[in-house]
Amino acid sequence: HAHRPDAGTAAASLLATEWKRPYARELGAYPVAALRNAKYWPPVGRVDNVYGDRNLFCSCLPVEAYAEAE
């Protein structure tokens, strides 16, 4: 994996015991010094690969169920 100066590494990779990347683990966690105080760890999981990304579904009750509750 080539390291981009403005891109971090996923948390799961940083926490893994084995590190085979050509850059330091610290650089992967904080590619920009300002991130040390305000690091955001974006989610990287996907729902059913691309299908789940493009066809979102809701597990909520139908709207009619909420109308009946009133």
Domain assignment present for residue 20? The answer is: yes
Q: Per the domain annotation, does 3 fall within a domain?
A: no
Judge contact between 32 and 52, C-beta under 8 A: no
Q: Which domain holds residue 46?
A: 11-69
Domain annotation covers residue 22: yes
Q: Does 6 fall in a domain?
A: no
Instruction: Report residue 61's pLDDT band, with 50, 70 and 90 as the boundaries.
Output: confident
Structural domain contains residue 62: yes
Position 58 scores a pLDDT of 75
Residue 33 lies in a domain: yes
The model's confidence at residue 63, banded by pLDDT at 50, 70 and 90, is: confident
**Tokens standing for residue 62:** 């139908």
**Residue pLDDT, tens place only, 20-59:** 888 898 888 888 888 888 887 777 666 666 776 677 777 7
Structure tokens at 32: 């920009």
- Total domains present in the chain: 1
Is pTM beyond 0.85? Reply is no
For residue 65, the Cα-to-chain-centroid distance in whole angstroms is 33
Give the helix/strand (H/E) hosting 65.
Answer: helix 63-69
